[in-house]
Amino acid sequence: MRTRSTMTLVATMVVALAGPAHAADDEPTSDAPAATAGATANAVRVNSEVRALRGVESTIDVAVPAGLDPVRLNGTLRIDEPRLDAEVSVNGIVVHTSDGKRTEKFTATVPASERTEDVLTIGVRYRDFDGQNVACRLLQPTFASLTNLAVTYRGTEKAPTSVGAFFPQQSPQIVVQVPRNADRSVAEAGLNAVAALSRRYPNTTTIQVRPQDAKLPAFRTGARLVRIEAGSGPARASVSRTGRWPVLTVSGKSGLSDAAAALADPALALVSGRTAQKLTFSSTAREDRRLRRPLSDVVVGDRLTLTGYGTTTSYLQIPQDLFGESISRLGLHLVGTHTAVARRGQVQLDVLANDLLIDSVSFDADSKPQFTLNTHIPSAALRGTNALVLRMSAVPASGSCATDLSQLPVEVHVDLADSSVRGRPGPGELTGFTRFPQTLKGVLPVAIRAGQAGFDAELRRAAALVVPLQRAAAGPLAVKLVKPDDFVSGSESGLLVGGSRADADRLDAPLRLAPAQVMTYLDARFQVLTNQPFVALEAFHQGERDVLFLGGWKVDGAGYGTLANRLTSTVERNTWETLSDDVFVATGSDKPFSLNSNAVIPQPERIDGKRAFAKWFVGGVAVLLVLLGINALWTRRRKRKIGRLIDAQEDAHGSGRESDPSP
Partner 1 sequence: MTLTQDAVAPAAPAAAEPARPGRRVPGTLIVFGLGLTVGAMASFVSVYAGRNMDIGDSMAHLTIARRIFDSRTPGLQQLGTVWLPLPHLLLMPFIANLWLFSTGVGACILGSLCLGVAAVALHRITARLGFTPAARTVVQAVLLTNVSLLYVVTTALTEPVLIAALTSCIAGLAGWAFSARRLSGGELAVFAGLPAAAAVLSRYEGWALMASGTIFVLFVVIRRGDGWRRAVRLGAAFAAPPGIATAWWLAYNFAWYRNPIEFMNGPYSSAAYNQVLIEQGQLTTKGNLGLSFGVFVQGVTDTVGVVPALLALFGLAVMTLWWGISNRALVIWLAGTSSAFMLLSLVIGQNVIINDASLPQGAYNNRYVTLVIPWVALLIGLLVHAATRNGRFVVASVAAVAVALVGQVSWWGTDLNGRLPVLAEAHHNHVNYAHAKEAARWLHAHYDGGGVLMDETSDRLAIAPEIGLPGRAYVNRAAGAEFNQALRNPADHVAWVFMHTRQLPNPATEDGIDKVTKALATNARFHRQYRLVYSVDDLGIYKKRQVGT
**List of residues contacting partner 1 (CB under 8 A):** 378-380, 429, 517, 519-521, 597-602, 606-608, 610-617, 623-624, 627-628, 630-632, 634-635, 637-638, 641-642, 645-646, 649, 652-653, 662-663
Do residues 537 and 557 make contact, with C-beta atoms less than 8 angstroms apart? Answer: no
364 vs 429 by CB, closer to partner 1: 429
Measured distance CA(287)–CA(5) in Å, rounded: 5
CB 350, min distance to partner 1, A: 22
CB 505, min distance to partner 1, A: 14
Give the side-chain half-sphere CA count within 13 A for 330. Answer: 30
CB 652, min distance to partner 1, A: 7
33 vs 378 by CB, closer to partner 1: 378
180 vs 636 by CB, closer to partner 1: 636
85 vs 429 by CB, closer to partner 1: 429
Do residues 9 and 281 make contact, with C-beta atoms less than 8 angstroms apart? Answer: yes
Q: Which of 497, 469, 433 is nearest to 203 (CA)?
A: 469
Do residues 49 and 56 make contact, with C-beta atoms less than 8 angstroms apart? Answer: no
Amino acid at 179: P
CB 530, min distance to partner 1, A: 11
Would you give the DSSP letter of residue 231? E
Q: Left, alpha or beta for 452 (phi > 0: left; psi -120 to 50: alpha)?
A: alpha
CB 656, min distance to partner 1, A: 13
Measured distance CA(167)–CA(222) in Å, rounded: 8
DSSP string, 108-137: EEPPGGGTT-SEEEEEEEETTTT-TT-SB-
Measured distance CA(527)–CA(234) in Å, rounded: 54
Do residues 532 and 586 make contact, with C-beta atoms less than 8 angstroms apart? Answer: no
| Phi, psi for residue 209 in degrees, rounded to 5 | -100, 135
CB 458, min distance to partner 1, A: 30
CB 533, min distance to partner 1, A: 20
Classify each residue of 568-578 as buried b or exposed e, where b means 16 or more C-beta atoms within 10 Å of its C-beta. bbbbbeeebee
CB 633, min distance to partner 1, A: 9
